[in-house]
Chain A
Amino acid sequence: MDRSLRLISTDAIVGTPIDALARTVEALLVVASQPLTVDELVAATEDDAERVETALGLLRERYAEGRSGIVLERVAGGYALRASREAAEACGRLFERPVERGLSQAALETVAIVAYLGPVSRPEIARIRGVAADSAVASLVERGLVAEAGRESGPGGAVRYRVTPLFERVFGLDSLSELPRLDDLGGETEAIRERLLAVAEARAS
């Protein structure tokens, strides 16, 4: 069961007991609407990183899936509270999911390109997809999944885009390194080249 929290923790010389630190971290996470990094929690609690990690460990135990209506998860490089999966249906009746609602195939392909190749410009995306990327990129920016990230070098360089922490959060990723490796995804150049050559020979004969 949950360990009992000590209520009195004002002894400044010994340092804040870990339970009190956990309560403070818990409070910070409730107020936050975006994942908080350990660094941010360290700065806010004015405590040290190791102790903050320990406090987070306690909280993750308490707010594990299936133990509480609230779940503490590690996502987008930080820690955030969310509703438990068993409450999803009830949440769905009351709340909208504006970020992923009606995400088109074009938008998904575009966000995949930005996630893997970002920072990447619209002309580069258009080159890969064979269709202008302007409207897909605009819709992703509006949803907050993609954001501007500087320009290509040289005068009048095109704006480049990268995915946002919200992208990682919506797709439940701690970081982009959790995406499958590009090499493991289809598209063997060799096989495609063979097929192209076969078509070319068939036409030539």
Chain B
Amino acid sequence: MPSAVRDLELDLDAFEGPFDLLLTLILKEQLEPAEIDIASIVVAFVEHLTARDRIDLDACGEFLVLIAALLEIKARQLFPEEGAELAELEPEEAAEELARRLAEYRRMKEAASWLRERLETERARYFRLGPAPLAPQAERRLAPQDPAHLVAALRGLAVPPPKVSLAHMALRFPPVAQFLERFRAVLRRRSVFDFDGEVAGLSRVEQAVAFLALLELRRAGEVALAQAAPFAPIRVSRHEAERSHAWTVRSA
């Protein structure tokens, strides 16, 4: 049996077509949920139900879930910050606020129907529509100009632009091997050293290459690495020296 929810045809201000297409468009963020008049969808669904000879409970359930989700998405979009503001209200105050807003909307609906009636009674008034003929422009006389000034101004603009420097594009990478040797040499003298201290004063690129070398040593099992906390100095030790360190970088 076809689903009463999915083949529900909608004709809204912002959308015309089947309900499931509406949902798809909203989920793909191709349609603003705020543009959708949810009450009309509910009315359309109820009409759709009454047109059938028996109540389809599955469809009702499915519809409730979908429309509730849609309502929540829309409410969040319409009142992004008001949730917090309203949550702080006492129930009594919240009811007051809600009543105030409902009353405000009801008055505007009344005003709209007054305007609708007014339009009806004023329908017999035909008048010319269109932009007004333009008022005559006051004449603006330009100050007399010297052609030499124009030449001078253009000359100022006609300078070739400065050559763009590409120096910063060329990155020079020192070889990783250089740091491998350097760290091995340090470890021959001392069993433990501080990576940060060792590379201090080097350029960013050099520091990065040094770190690669460090990872390389760790992978080969030549060193153990330890760091007390994220961003704390990295301690490098000969592998056999500090096997039981609390936290060791496992993968390189």
Q: Is the CB of B132 within 8 A of A130?
A: no
Determine the distance from Cα of A71 to Cα of B34 in the docked complex, in whole angstroms.
45
Determine the distance from Cα of A134 to Cα of B117 in the docked complex, in whole angstroms.
25
Q: Is the CB of B103 within 8 A of A134?
A: no
Given contacts A105-B112, A112-B115, contact A85 B125 (CB under 8 A): yes
Determine the distance from Cα of A200 to Cα of B90 in the docked complex, in whole angstroms.
14
Smallest CB–CB gap between B92 and chain A, Å?
Answer: 9
Smallest CB–CB gap between A94 and chain B, Å?
Answer: 9
Q: Can you list 12 A-B contacts with CB-CB less than 8 angstroms, sorted by A residue number?
A: A33-B128, A33-B130, A81-B127, A100-B119, A109-B108, A113-B111, A115-B115, A129-B108, A171-B118, A172-B125, A185-B110, A187-B102
User: Considering the complex, which residues of chain A in the window 92-149 have a beta carbon less than 8 Å from any beta carbon of chain B?
Assistant: 92, 95, 97-100, 103-106, 108-109, 111-113, 115-116, 126-132, 134-136
Is residue B32 contacting chain A, with contact meaning CB distance below 8 A? yes
Is residue A82 contacting chain B, with contact meaning CB distance below 8 A? yes
Is residue B95 contacting chain A, with contact meaning CB distance below 8 A? yes
Digitize A162-205: 1 where CB-to-B-CB distance is under 8 Å, 0 elsewhere. 00001001111000000110100111111011001100100000
Which residues of chain B come closer than 8 Å to A166, judged between CB atoms? Answer: 129
Q: Is the CB of A189 within 8 A of B100?
A: yes
Partner of B129, one of A33, A115, A187: A33
Partner of A196, one of B14, B95, B114: B95
Which residues of chain A come closer than 8 Å to B79, judged between CB atoms? Answer: 127
Partner of B35, one of A99, A116, A131, A196: A131
Is residue B25 contacting chain A, with contact meaning CB distance below 8 A? no
Most A-side CB within 10 Å, residue of B79, B115, B119: B115
Partner of A132, one of B35, B100, B126: B35
Q: Is the CB of B32 within 8 A of A116?
A: no
Is residue A27 contacting chain B, with contact meaning CB distance below 8 A? no
Is residue B13 contacting chain A, with contact meaning CB distance below 8 A? yes
Number of interface residues of B (CB under 8 A): 46
Which residues of chain B come closer than 8 Å to A81, judged between CB atoms? Answer: 127-128
Determine the distance from Cα of A188 to Cα of B129 in the docked complex, in whole angstroms.
39
Most A-side CB within 10 Å, residue of B102, B111, B113, B124: B111
Q: Is the CB of B111 within 8 A of A185?
A: yes
Across the two chains, which residue of chain A brings its CB closest to B99?
A193
Partner of B132, one of A32, A73, A97, A197: A32
Smallest CB–CB gap between A85 and chain B, Å?
Answer: 4
Q: Is the CB of B127 within 8 A of A108?
A: no
Which residues of chain B come closer than 8 Å to A113, judged between CB atoms? Answer: 108, 111
Which residues of chain A come closer than 8 Å to B36, judged between CB atoms? Answer: 131
Is residue B106 contacting chain A, with contact meaning CB distance below 8 A? yes
Closest 9 CB pairs of A and B: A187-B106, A132-B34, A88-B124, A193-B99, A82-B127, A112-B111, A185-B110, A187-B103, A91-B126
Q: Is the CB of A106 within 8 A of B103?
A: no
Q: Is the CB of A169 within 8 A of B127?
A: yes
Which residues of chain A come closer than 8 Å to B108, judged between CB atoms? Answer: 109, 112-113, 116, 128-129
Q: Is the CB of B115 within 8 A of A189?
A: no
Q: Is the CB of B13 within 8 A of A34?
A: no
Which residues of chain A come closer than 8 Å to B35, judged between CB atoms? Answer: 131-132, 134-135
Partner of A106, one of B13, B98, B113, B119: B13
Which residues of chain B come closer than 8 Å to A136, judged between CB atoms? Answer: 13
Is residue A13 contacting chain B, with contact meaning CB distance below 8 A? no
Is residue A80 contacting chain B, with contact meaning CB distance below 8 A? yes
